[in-house]
Structure 1
Amino acid sequence: MKIELVLLLTQIIKQLGVENVTPIVERVADLSHGDYTTNVAMVLAKQLKRSPVEIAKEIVSKFAVGSSQFAAKQSDLSTDQSGQKQSSHAPEINVLQDIEMIEVAPPGFINFSLAASTLSRTLGEVLEAKEAYGTIQPSRPKADQPLVEVISSQPSADISMSSPRKRGSKIPGQAGNDKTWKKIMVEFAHPNTHKAFHIGHLRNITTGESIIRLLESQGHEVVRVNYQGDVGMHIAKCLYGILQDQKSKISAKGGSAFGRKNQNYNPTHPPLKLRGGAGGVIEEFKNKSINEKVEYLGKMYAAGSKAFEDPSADGKKAKEEIKDINYLIYAAVQRFNKERGIEPSSTDYMKFVHGRAVEVDQVYELWVSTRKWSLDYFDSIYARVGSHYDRFYFESECLSGVDDAKEAVKKGILKESDGAIIFDGKPYGLDTRVFVNSLGLPTYEAKELALAQKEFSEFGKLDKVVHVVGPEQASFFKVTFKVEELLDIQKDQQKHLIYGWVKLKHGKMSSRSGNVVLGEWLLDEAKKAILKIVKKGNNSPQPSHFNLRGGEVPSLRLREGQGELRGVSRNEADIQEIAEKAAVAAIKYSFLKVGTLQEIAFDIEESINFNGDSGPYLQYTYARCKSVLRKATLSVIPAAESDKDGVIARSEATKQSQAQETRLPHQSDDWFAMTNKLNIEEKNILRLVERFPEVVTIAATTYAPSALCKYLYDLAGAYNTFYNKHTILGFAEEVRSSQFAVDSSKENNTKYKGIDKRTSEFRLQLTAATAQVLKNGLYLLGIEALEQM
């Protein structure tokens, strides 16, 4: 429709004697103003030397295209002194078939309203497409797509909204044989081993997961990867802390590292021979939980960092020892890579080791074991938030970047400077950065060269690689992208998607100083807060932008003294599961609802807010829709609605009968004549449902999940307003009683509490469509829709 309006407006502009002006048609922000709007009259005012309102009226008068009739409502703006529209009806004229009304509004906007019959046809599309609705579908004319890059694709089978798709499985709207879709790699999460998985990582993984699902919805094939730092000084500090901790435990027992009585024991540089090869720490933590292991790593990292920064003489010795451990880690990695067939670096790291407080074999075993602790812990977080990966990349496998840097020197892209290898960014307006330091060790920049080689070779031809990384790496990526471009590594095919810092109210987090906020802690706190609401019952949320029916609360409400959640029998496991999923929704939505670049001053009380714009609120609205549908026995739920979703148990014969009764509405059907009498709440829901595919495309092409969040919040609000004002099932107590059996033998004009059966059927379809769109949208945010709350 948007493109069709642009074409018609272009023709009219030419009739007005103006060339080379392309009108802009946009969605109306305020639903009361219709569906589309254009400011073209204001654009033309200067050239035509006329008032925008006068031009707008003339444009409207020329809209004589199509076969249907509409009322062109133009405002008598000459008498308007308050800026408010004063409407008067103009004569009926021919216009586009699907346009119901055109309105001129000050200071010269032209607003277009789609016909109710056109909007209502969307219900059939939603209920037929189900999970595929909102994805790129050839059945939707290109004219319905926004003026951004879109991809032709084919709908496919239903998907599970409760878990991420595995690589290789078809997605709704996945492109078929037409290779117009792209293969895109998204690199996200990036936690470093031996360090905390903090709430910054939680925002990263939340953003990356949603971006991936949005891209998949457009038919793209997405490769999920995670680049993690498993070498570096942070690990050397952690291992130093562990070694010192083990030495202190040995000393406390009156022995040496060899298990003998102390003889000439040097507390700073003992010839430490760790018990059991990898040390007593491995045996000590053998049967402990993964959380206990990572908690210990965090403490040892903090201790090692403190020793490294100690300005005293002992601190200086500790710093030298940590540096040696760092080189030993790199030497251990060379062995680790060789054993796994990974190309090793040509650098001999052992030549940099000055002391021998610990042997490389011992560092190898300690590094491998503690690295696995971290990775196992990260896996538990990924599972909890619903993310998975096709490939894990590690810094340890990118040490060959030093050799890539040397090759770049031969090509004149990098150059040697004081024994180091650098990139002179001045000719390109970029920073000068070191790729190999004066000791011959690769920096992050050199490792990035090796990583790019791997990423662009292991998954076939990639059209783009998106790096979800914080703003502190902006200069880094500008330089590495330029060097990789000069090396001809997929020129211009990389994007740094920046997400803003997550800050505490007291400043940025630090995993060194000990005040880091763990991602798992935040999830646990959210879950506790939700459980408190569930079990207390009387602290139910009251969404601020709609009024509730008397006695009903849109919340996770547990009846006092009973194991029931909103009247449904629940055991403790059920309640815990709902609270867990709602907690994940609360945290994810709080991150995604703001712009990706926007920083977040995080506050737990503000994040766990169920009074409106939150993940649990959207989940609750979906559950409310499903509750209405479960209690309905009117034959309006399409046969495609499966019994396993808990709607209604039906026989195949009943399904077939209902499928016949629920034909998609057409203007020739007397049932559909009721669309001429739709109330404003129904129209608002229809307008929003019809917009969903466009919102998804815009969110995907602009990497902006926040646009989808705003849309879903508006849709939920519109439905709850409708729900509050109007009867759906024909019973005043429809959501509080479990008995809604309707005698299907009654005639179609049977009245149910002031509404006829056809109206009730329409409203149930509206409810089903709203539920489906909410479910689809929540999936794209990485949030699970809950059938009951």
Structure 2
Amino acid sequence: MSNYKDQIVRVLEKATGIKNSEVDFASDSQFGDYSSNICLRNKDLDPQKIANEINGKDLQFSAKVVGKFINFWLKKDILINNLIQIDEGKEDYGKGDSLKGKKIMFEFAHPNTHKAFHIGHLRNITTGETLSRLHEAIGAKVIRANYQGDVGLHIAKAIYGIEIEGFEDLKDIKKRAEYLGKVYAKGATAYEEDEEAKKRVGEINLKIYDKSDSDINKIYEETRKWSLDYFDEIYKRVYTKFNRFYFESECAESGKLIALESLKNGILEKSDGAVIFKGSKYGLHDRVFISGKGVPTYEGKDLGLAKLQFSEYDPDLLVHTVGPEQTEYFKVIIKALEFILPETKGREIHIPYGWVKLKEGKMSSRTGNVILGEDILDQAKEKILESYKINSEIAEKIAVGAVKYSFLKTGLAQEIAFDLKESISLEGNSGPYLQYTVARCNSVIQKTTYKVRNPKGLRVPNLQDLPELTGKELSVLRKLSQFQEIITIAAKSYSPNILCEYLYSLASKYNTFYTKHKIIGSENESFRVLLTQGTGQVLKNGLKLLGIEAPERM
């Protein structure tokens, strides 16, 4: 599949001698497909002379000058040939190989056992899964990893809450999760308000680490499994499957040993009985890797985690998808790892994402101040079933798509004010709007009497037999030609919102065309059906990259 932008850059280099000139998508299809400001940046260049030279060659595009800008228009036969490529590629259309041979680990989700899977986790897993799919689409081998906190004070607080409330041997996965949320809240409150409770939580925490109390260990193992089973149900619901689950419990001891070895060789230092990394030497802050009590901290465990990840998978790049509050933390960890495990240098990055909050008064929560990820999905599904005459299976796909898209359409660094009503709307920039457009395309194709296929593949009318294409038809055609480049840009910039913007623009252009033009029974039915088929396929492929299923009908 052609990358037209790269071709234009090469042609401009031959015409001007300037390498890597800036070429962008045109701001509007009426200005063509691509635009370059090369003459604005290099005032001695004559844009018309360059355009004339380009137009004198047999290329896939033509050039026109507007002021100091040179705009580029893909030729009509190239645009229509793209429809053939869409049909031939089907679900593979849009994929590339620019990262072929690269191995990338995306580490995301990160829910802690014995605690709620909240709305922030839902944005995290949605982001991590989409980044994984985008990088797979441009050729990378992707490993999905999930690092979960299954030891620490939060576990001890939950088990102390069980000591207060009494253990309930529940069978229903959802009720187990609710129970764990309740006992964690009890234990956490007691820990803050009662010194005796605080002391007991500390005792429980140590016993979990050294497994010295069989009763506590039994409750811990049972309730840990409850949490993991519950998380598995959510992973299935949002179409994510991990290659490797890492746990703090498996990284603690090895991390401590690595930290002690690093203390011997001077990378880490002693300070008030603790083992620390002096990040202040590098313009960062200092972090504790082993506490004064000899317990590995999060930082210490991260050493064990990195050792495991690189020894097991040896990724070219490890991407940590973690909240913005961890930004300074990761700067220190990544710097420390450069000295402690030199093989990781230049191969780890942190991609933060903004917080999620609710628009005031829009949703209720079973837990008061913590909005559960499952509640978001359930309430979206409930509202969809109330609003539209569809079955539960389709409502589930729309609900998951609505919530995911509402997260992904916003830049990763931005905070989100989640609006349930807006997210499930069939109008505007929403997941259901895109899903509905796919269903509309399917409906058109089902109604046509024109045979889209023959044994040799697509029956594309000869160009000379086509009536003059309208502006609305050309607008959709031009948008379709951008798909592969958009995927590459969205992947390499870690910006799923770029793909969302593209899909919304494509759907809007198609729906405008659909409203203004008769398709079935028109003089140009064959072409318009092909255009509809191409639009539906690209939207479906794009939604799949976002981790969203498109129902055949709505």
Q: Which residue of 2 aligns with 1:105?
A: 66
Shift, 1:663, TM fit: 4.2
CA distance in 1, matches of 2:109, 2:55: 55
Matched residue SS, 1:421: strand
Q: Residue 160 of structure 1 aligns with which residue?
A: none
Q: Tell me if structure 1 keeps the 8 A contact 2:107–2:320.
A: yes
What is the rounded CA distance, in whole Å, between the counterparts of 1:306 and 1:688 in structure 2? 55
Q: Partner amino acid for 2:226?
A: W
Rounded to whole Å, the distance in 2 between the matches of 1:421 and 1:662 is 68
Q: Is the 8 A contact 1:453 1:489 kept in 2?
A: no
Contact 2:330–2:350 (Cα < 8 Å) also in 1: yes
Q: Distance in 1 between matches of 2:208 and 2:112?
A: 15
Contact 2:422 2:430 in 1 (8 A): no
Q: Tell me which protein shows more helix as a share of its residues.
A: 2
Contact 1:305 1:512 in 2 (8 A): no
Q: Does 1:66 align with 2:57?
A: yes
Matched, 1:777 2:545: no
| Aligned mates of 2:249, 2:103 — CA distance in 1 | 26
Distance in structure 2 (CA, Å) of the matches to 1:218 and 1:13: 31
Q: CA deviation at 1:417?
A: 1.2
> What SS is found at the alignment partner of 1:63?
helix
Which of 241, 262, 271 is residue 417 of structure 1 equivalent to?
Answer: 271
The aligned counterpart of 1:723 is 514
Please name the residue that 1:768 is paired with: 533
Please state if 1:297 is matched with 2:180.
Answer: yes
Residues 421, 587 of structure 1: alpha-carbon distance in 2 compared, 3 angstrom cutoff: same
| Map of 1:606 onto structure 2 | 422
Please name the residue that 1:24 is paired with: 22
1:320 matches 2:174: no
Shift of 1:31: 1.2
Helix, strand or coil: the match of 1:113? strand
1:486 lines up with 2:251 in the alignment: no
Matched, 1:618 2:457: no
| CA deviation string 1:206-262 (max 9, x = no partner) | 00110111111111111111100011111111111110122xxxxxxxxxxxxxxxx
Query: Which residue, 299, 321, 325 being the options, matches 1:445?
Result: 299
| Structure 2 residue 168 is matched with structure 1 residue 372 | no
Change (3 A) 1:328 1:199: same
CA distance in 1, matches of 2:197, 2:436: 55
Matched with 1:79 is none
Q: Aligned partners of 1:500 and 1:375: how far apart in 2?
A: 26
Query: 2:266 is matched by which residue type in structure 1?
Result: G
TM-score (norm 2): 0.95
Q: Which residue among 210, 214, 230 is the counterpart of 2:150?
A: 230
Distance 1:230 1:512, change over 3 A: farther
Whether 1:204 and 2:165 are equivalent positions in the alignment is no
Shift of 1:505: 4.6
Following superposition of structure 1 onto structure 2, how do residues 141-152 of structure 1 map, counting pairs within 5 Å? Answer: 150-151=98-99
> For each residue in 1:543-574, what CA deviation from the matched residue of structure 2 results, as whole angstroms up to 9, or x when unmatched?
xxxxxxxxxxxxxxx3xxxxxx5xxxxxxxxx
- Hey, what does 2:502 align to over in structure 1? 711
Identity %: 50
Query: Which SS does the other structure have where 1:520 is aligned?
Result: helix
Distance 2:357 2:457 in 1: 55
The residue type paired with residue 11 of structure 2 is: L
Aligned to 2:138: 218
Contact 1:136 1:217 survives alignment (8 Å): yes
Q: In structure 2, do the counterparts of structure 1 residues 126 and 425 end up closer, same or farther at CA, with 3 Å as the change threshold?
A: same
1:393 aligns with 2:246: yes
Q: CA deviation at 1:675?
A: 4.8
Structure 1 residues 467 and 61, CA gap change in structure 2 (3 angstroms): same
SS at match of 2:42: helix
Q: For the Cα contact (< 8 Å) 2:406–2:418, is it kept in 1?
A: no
1:477 to partner: Cα distance:
1.1
Distance 1:134 1:305 in 2: 49
Question: Aligned match of 2:88 in 120, 128, 132?
Answer: 128
The answer to whether the 8 Å contact 1:116/1:678 transfers is: no
1:62-101 superposed matches below 5 A = 62-67=53-58, 96=59, 98-100=60-62
| 2: CA distance, partners of 1:682 / 1:185 | 41
Match of 1:7 in 2: 10
Residues in 2 aligned to 1:711 and 1:308: alpha-carbon distance in whole angstroms: 49
- Describe the SS at the equivalent of 1:192: coil
- C-alpha contact (below 8 Å) 1:593/1:706 kept by paired residues: yes
Which secondary structure does the structure 2 equivalent of 1:398 belong to? helix
Instruction: Please tell me whether the aligned partners of residues 531 and 576 of structure 1 are also in contact (alpha carbons under 8 angstroms).
Output: yes
CA contact (8 A) 1:635 1:662 kept: no
Structure with the larger RCO, 1 or 2 (CA within 8 Å, 6+ apart): 2
Map of 1:185 onto structure 2: 105
CA distance in 2, matches of 1:103, 1:61: 9
Question: 1:22–1:703: structure 2 CA closer, same or farther, 3 Å change rule?
Answer: closer
Deviation at 1:514, TM superposition (A): 4.2
User: Is residue 2:79 matched to residue 1:119?
Assistant: yes
Residues of 2 paired with 1:231 and 1:2: CA distance?
50
Which residue in the other structure is 1:33 paired with?
31
Cα 1:61/1:218, change in 2 over 3 Å: closer
Question: How many residues matched?
Answer: 547
Question: Aligned partners of 2:376, 2:42: CA distance in 1, in Å?
Answer: 54
> What 5-or-longer segments of structure 2 have no aligned partner?
none
| Structure-2 separation of matches of 1:727 and 1:524 | 39
Cα 1:245–1:721 shift into 2, 3 Å:
same
CA distance in 1, matches of 2:426, 2:358: 21
CA contact (8 A) 1:302 1:512 kept: no
1:634 counterpart residue number: 450
Aligned-residue offset at 1:198? 0.3
Distance in 2 of aligned mates of 1:505 and 1:729: 43
- Contact 2:113–2:228 (Cα < 8 Å) also in 1: yes
Matches within 5 A, 1:621-700: 621-636=437-452, 638=453, 658-660=454-456, 662-663=458-459, 671-675=462-466, 677-700=468-491
Q: If the length of structure 1 is used for normalisation, what is the TM-score?
A: 0.67
1:562 aligns with none
The secondary structure found in structure 1 opposite 2:455 is helix
CA distance in 2, matches of 1:402, 1:37: 55
Distance 1:776 1:297, change over 3 A: same
Q: Superposed, which structure 2 residues align to 1:259-298 within 5 Å?
A: 281=167, 284-286=168-170, 288-298=171-181
1:521 and 2:392 correspond: no
| Separation of aligned partners in 2, 1:3 and 1:592 | 27
Per-residue deviation, 1:660: 4.3
CA contact (8 A) 1:237 1:322 kept: yes
Moved over 4 A (4+): 511-514
Counterpart code for 1:696: I
Q: CA shift at 1:609, angstroms?
A: 2.8
8 Å CA contact retained: 1:226, 1:389: yes
For 1:24 and 1:130, the matched residues in 2 are separated by: 31
Taking the aligned partners of 1:135 and 1:21, their CA distance within structure 2 comes to 27
Q: CA distance change for structure 1 residues 4 and 729 in 2, over 3 Å: closer, same or farther?
A: same
1:649-678 per-position Cα deviation (integer Å, ceiling 9, x unaligned): xxxxxxxxx23484456xxxxx32245611
SS of the residue corresponding to residue 399 of structure 1 reads helix
Instruction: Give structure 1 stretches of 5+ with no counterpart.
Output: 15-19, 68-95, 138-149, 152-179, 247-280, 333-349, 351-359, 535-557, 559-564, 566-574, 639-657, 666-670, 731-754
SS in 2 for 1:677: coil
